[in-house]
Amino acid sequence: MTDARARTGFIPSERQRELVARGIGRRRRREKRFQAYGIGAIVLACSMLVFLLVTIVGTGWSAFLTTNIRVDVTLKKEDIDPDNGGAEAVRGANFQALIEDALIAKLGVSREDEQLVTKLVSSASGSFLRDMVLADPSLIGKKVTLHLPAHTDIDMASKGRISRALPESDRQVKNAQFRWIDQLKKEGALETRFNWRFFTAADSNEPELAGILGALSGSAYTMLITLLLCFPVGVAAAVYLEEFSRKNRLTDLIEVNINNLAAVPSIVFGLLGLAVFLSFFGLPRSAPLVGGMVLSLLVLPTIIIATRASLKAVPPSIREAAYGLGASKMQVVLHHVLPLAMPGILTGTIIGMAHALGETAPLLMIGMKAFISSPPVSPFDPSTALPAQVFIWADKPERGFQEKTAAAIMVLLMFLILMNAVAIYLRRKFERRW
């Protein structure tokens, strides 16, 4: 360094060396600050994500548990079918009153507290008992043991969601009901089990009976219709634009519009479905068929863009080698380029489908937010979807629906994570390094 300075005739002064050192120090401090900002942004984002997940899980985990009350009910003939009226008389019997009388006798309830007994078990308990008797009329005259779902307030109290420390006037569960809960637990007549009904039942006006089977079925039909419509159309459009079309103003206009459609708000597609599919074509409202058609329009630009990017990633040498062996344009694309691009195409398709699974606004616009008490059996039946079910439950004031909302979000997040994991697996398994 000294020889070089001597040859050039330049020897920096002490002041110049000090200025250079200060400049280098300032640059290094800026770099460290920038790194600190980046690390801080990552920590903040991760903290917010963890806070969100902890909030959802903390609110919704209890929805996967349910509280049942064991009750012994005597099915007296004079209370159910005194005149031998058969099934019609059984349907008209007051089975809910039989259950309440059994609870009153079991708990030794005073007359002034009898009204509170009606809120121990679900209001649909009588229907369960009625269906049991209609299925087996020989039960009339016998004593049966029932495991009935507790009322939503009793369920919340049993899970610790309603605090006894609050004044009695500020909580739904009264002191007498807390005493009965303790008594039933001591006798082993109140137990907490896994809530299979959450996965095997459709929506209900009673929080303790509501489930997501209808929403899951509707989402499954909707995703099936979406995949069947958008995958072949999207891949075919991308192959044509990338491999066969000539570059002119028309194709440039098509490409610009495809890119613009990928950024259009999802509710616009819902308005399109409402105006075209429902109003003009008269397709059934609230049906997964229409939901799938709307979401296929939403996913189509994503699949086209991902497919074109995958086709571009195939090296030109593959095409040149195929042409050198005498393959036609169609054979080159179908036998060589498309199979090599398929991992990227599948990855883009799965990500697009995951995006569609979480969409709510388009489904709300076409009516898939109605109360549906039974799961759909075909894509033409009225239905709802999992995101719309979350929206419906979130709008209800009952405590039980709050935990059901968080639990449904957990299920939806699980499916989204699973779909993204499959996309990552396919990309890593079939991706080739050129």
How do residues 20-58 score in pLDDT, each as one tens digit?
888 888 889 999 999 999 999 999 999 999 999 999 999
> Is residue 359 a contact partner of residue 345, using CB atoms and an 8 Å limit?
no
pLDDT digits (tens, 9 = 90+) for 197-214: 999 998 888 999 999 999
Sign of CA dihedral 108, 114, 116, 117: positive
**Gyration radius (Cα) of the chain, Å:** 33
**Band (234; pLDDT cuts 50, 70, 90):** very high
Q: Order of strands, edge to edge, in the sheet holding 190-194?
A: 143-149, 65-74, 190-194
pLDDT band of residue 216 (cuts 50, 70, 90) is: very high
- pLDDT (tens digit, 9 = 90+) per residue, 328-381? 889 999 888 998 898 889 888 988 998 899 888 899 888 888 788 888 889 999
CB atoms inside a 10 Å sphere around CB 263: 7
Q: Which CATH architecture has domain 213-430?
A: Orthogonal Bundle (1.10)
Confidence of residue 411 (pLDDT cuts 50, 70, 90): very high
For the cut 90, the answer to whether the pLDDT of residue 430 exceeds it is no
Domain ranges of the chain: 2-61, 65-200, 213-430
Looking at residue 373, what is its pLDDT? 82
Q: What crossing angle do the helices spanning 338-357 and 399-430 adopt, rounded to 10°?
A: 170
The mean pLDDT value of the chain amounts to: 88
d(CA 408, CA 64): 10
Read off the pLDDT of residues 106-148 as tens digits, 9 standing for 90 and up: 888 877 788 888 889 998 888 899 999 888 888 888 889 999 9
**Secondary structure (H, E, C), the chain:** CHHHHHHHCCCCCHHHHHHHHHHHHHHHHHHHHHHHHHHHHHHHHHHHHHHHHHHHHHHHHHHHEEEEEEEEEECCHHHHCCCCCCHHHHHHCCHHHHHHHHHHHHHCCCHHHHHHHCCCECCCHHHHHHHHHHHCHHHCCCEEEEEEEECHHHHHHHCCCCCCCCCHHHCCCCHHHHHHHHHHHHHCCEEEEECCHHHHCCCCCCHHHCCCHHHHHHHHHHHHHHHHHHHHHHHHHHHHHHHHCCCCHHHHHHHHHHHHHCCCCHHHHHHHHHHHHHHHCCCCCCCHHHHHHHHHHHHHHHHHHHHHHHHHHCCHHHHHHHHHCCCCHHHHHHHHHHHHHHHHHHHHHHHHHHHHHCCCHHHHHCCCCCCCCCCCCCCCCCCCCHHHHHHHHHCCCCHHHHHHHHHHHHHHHHHHHHHHHHHHHHHHHHCCCC
Binned at pLDDT 50, 70 and 90, residue 82 comes out as: confident
pLDDT at 300: 93
Length of the chain: 434
pLDDT (tens digit per residue) in 256-301 = 888 888 888 889 999 999 899 998 888 888 899 999 999 999 999 9
Among residues of the chain, what percentage have pLDDT more than 90?
Answer: 37
Say whether pLDDT at 416 is over 70.
Answer: yes
Residue 10 has pLDDT above 80, yes or no: no
Looking at residue 427, its pLDDT comes to 76
